[in-house]
Structure 1
């Protein structure tokens, strides 16, 4: 089962215009969006691929208030472990070091280690 990332979106409804549309799209992608207790913060739960889809959707829209969500998600998903990088690379056979770095924002050393490990098998 793929790892679920949990990203806290602070003051989500106050910072986003047309939040209903963004929430609907996130849920259509397969993400779970829940309010954190009784606070104004929300928690987004999704896999790496779903987070990529959300970021791509937000970047294609013209809504400027949504851009901070894309930036925040991108910053949070950069904290991938070695095993998660391996899983991502396994799903795309023949992926290059540069493609892996662009997709995951990992360092060149991490990408080389993952590619070398995959090529040994």
Structure 2
């Protein structure tokens, strides 16, 4: 019984975190889908809200936690520099939508609309 309760709790946690919508970019591209890449932190409320928004709107995405993944952090910084976006006072999440890079530097509701 304890194992069943633990399993149900784990499944609810996974679904609540939106893990079901996160996909690997290569898998989605093989399926013909475009994938939004979200660089952020699991401790950032805008990042959490962004993942929730993408999940609720059935938009395929992959999330990289830049606090725990130094390679993703460097990849994000490289993309920002390449697109001449300042890394001073950077606000996360940072989005890569089909090669278009943008940050959370506008009102958050407007930011979310750019994800569609």
TM-score relative to the length of structure 1:
0.28
- Which of 1 and 2 has higher RCO (CA within 8 Å, sep 6+)? 2
Q: Which has the higher helix share?
A: 1
